[in-house]
């Protein structure tokens, strides 16, 4: 089993073809963003198949050289291998202190069930040491640890990297720590979780060197726990008073010393995407800029440039609008509660997928959709309820494969 865990199986495609173009996407979501030292922006998200989860899901990477106004077609794809029951999902970008671009991604292996099996979810990464180059050079994929990641790492003042990759079956928050610039990672545990299906935690090192952990919960509010000894011990999780509809958020220390929180300020619905600022190390967030008050917006990510500009990305209507959108703002915009900087913008479409249902021959599309729904039913039975069998899942995948061959012939 351990040999399989440490064997990368996702298909790494460095020159993606037209089959990965936006015209062939039924849905898209869960984006992430990074900015290089020379100003190039990278964005990634996952898509493919009828929806999530699917063994036709894939992660993609695009870039922008004009401050996020225009974006390339996919320049890298991390693809699932449905024949081997291996799903590729949950891309996360990060620029480390050395300026290297990390592309984290999760491999989900349905040969190993239930979800508590350590071989079921594994975190991997590939890295580009010069992300400003015209031609990107990637290292071989390497294994990080068991679990999966949906949020940025945090670098502490002592140089340690806190990577919030987690095991959703444990009662405590989990994360990985590197003390050697990402060469190796050690699994660690924080406090007992506030009830949640997905941890999606982020860390903040406060001015007094204590560590604050915010996390997604099922309670309608963000959860938190704290460490006052550098991570050796943690308080148990508890609710904050910050509303959140059980969705990812983004928490960052800005160069000014203020704390940035990107969050959906609603306890029930994924709406009211808002940028907030704290001047007291995350105790309160009195300054707010509403970015997107539409329905079904979620999963923000953000980075800050050397000049203080903040770049953000989120998804809007994964199965409806099918949009990945970005924003460019400043702290002055948030402090004013409106756009005041002439270079700022709140909403620019990075990518918009168009449902292929408009094709003249709808029967192949219907067959593929029904096959994907069958897979999801098996997924729920075998991964969440643990009362299914792998053979049922294999049969559902085979039906999806056959339907996909017909649907995408010539595409």
Query: How far apart, in whole angstroms, are the C-alpha atoms of residue 89 and residue 78?
Result: 8
Closest-CA residue to 221 (of 247, 259, 256, 203) = 247
- Report which of 211, 202, 259 is spatially closest to residue 232, judged by C-alpha positions: 211
Q: Which two tokens mark 230?
A: 């550098």
DSSP symbols for 162-182? EE--B-TTSSEEEEEEESSTT
pLDDT tens per residue across all 411 residues of the chain: 344 455 668 999 999 999 899 988 989 999 999 999 999 999 999 999 888 888 899 999 999 999 999 999 999 999 999 888 899 999 999 999 999 999 999 999 888 877 778 888 999 999 999 999 999 999 999 999 999 999 999 999 999 999 999 987 889 999 999 999 999 999 999 999 999 989 999 999 999 999 999 999 999 999 999 999 999 999 999 999 999 999 999 999 999 999 999 999 999 999 999 999 999 999 999 999 999 999 999 999 999 999 999 999 999 999 999 999 999 999 999 999 999 999 999 999 999 998 654 554 567 777 777 777 777 777 666 555 555 456 677 777 777 778 777 766 644
Structural element, H or E, at residue 141: none
Residue 220 dihedral angles phi and psi, to the nearest 5°: 95, 5
Burial class (CB in 10 A: 0-12, 13-18, 19+), 40: middle
- Strand runs labelled E in 14-85: 28-35, 41-47, 58-64, 76-79
- Tokens linked to 233: 């011990």
CA distances from 254 to 147, 222, 282, 283 (A): 28, 20, 12, 15
CB atoms within 10 A of CB 357: 10
- Which residues neighbour 200 within 8 Å (Cβ) at sequence distance 6 or greater? 150, 151, 164, 166, 215, 216, 248, 249
235 strand-pairing partners: none
* pTM above threshold 0.85: yes
Tokens of 248: 């990812």
If phi > 0 it is left, if psi is from -120 to 50 it is alpha, else beta; for residue 149 that is: beta
- Residue 4 to residues 8, 11, 12, 119, 145: CA-CA distances in angstroms? 8, 15, 17, 8, 12
């Amino acid at each position: 089993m351990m040999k399989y865990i440490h064997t990368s199986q996702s298909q790494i495609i460095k020159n993606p073809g037209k089959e990965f173009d936006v015209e062939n996407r039924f849905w898209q979501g869960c984006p992430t963003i990074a900015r290089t030292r020379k100003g190039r922006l990278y964005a990634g998200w996952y898509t493919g198949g009828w929806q999530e989860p699917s063994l036709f899901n894939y992660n993609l990477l695009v870039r922008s050289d004009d401050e996020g106004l225009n974006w390339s077609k996919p320049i890298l794809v991390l693809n699932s291998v449905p024949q081997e029951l291996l799903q590729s999902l949950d891309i996360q970008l990060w620029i480390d202190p050395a300026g290297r671009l990390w592309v984290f991604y999760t491999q989900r292996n349905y040969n190993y069930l239930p979800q508590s099996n350590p071989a079921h979810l594994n975190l991997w990464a590939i890295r580009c040491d010069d992300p400003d180059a015209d031609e990107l050079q990637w290292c071989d994929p390497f294994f990080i640890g068991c679990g999966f990641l949906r949020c940025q790492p945090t670098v502490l003042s002592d140089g340690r990297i806190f990577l919030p990759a987690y095991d959703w079956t444990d009662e405590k928050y989990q994360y990985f720590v590197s003390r050697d610039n990402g060469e190796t990672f050690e699994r660690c545990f924080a406090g007992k979780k506030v009830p949640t299906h997905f941890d999606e935690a982020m860390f903040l090192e406060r001015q007094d060197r204590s560590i604050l952990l915010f996390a997604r919960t099922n309670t309608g509010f963000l959860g938190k726990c704290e460490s006052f000894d550098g991570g050796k011990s943690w308080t148990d999780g508890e609710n904050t008073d910050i509303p959140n509809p059980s969705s990812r958020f983004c928490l960052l220390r800005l160069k000014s010393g203020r704390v940035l929180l990107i969050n959906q300020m609603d306890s029930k619905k994924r709406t009211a995407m808002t940028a907030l600022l704290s001047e007291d190390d995350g105790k309160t967030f009195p300054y707010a800029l509403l970015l997107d008050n539409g329905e079904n917006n979620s999963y923000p990510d953000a980075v800050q440039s050397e000049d203080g500009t903040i770049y953000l990305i989120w998804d809007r209507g994964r199965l409806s609008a099918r949009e990945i959108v970005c924003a460019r703002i400043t702290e002055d915009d948030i402090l004013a509660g409106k756009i005041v900087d002439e270079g700022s913008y709140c909403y620019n479409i990075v990518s918009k997928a168009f449902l292929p249902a408009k094709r003249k021959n709808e029967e192949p599309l219907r067959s593929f959709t029904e096959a994907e729904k069958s897979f999801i039913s098996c997924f729920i039975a075998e991964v969440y309820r643990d009362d299914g069998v792998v053979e049922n899942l294999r049969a559902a995948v085979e039906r999806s494969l056959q339907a996909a061959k017909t649907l995408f012939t010539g595409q």
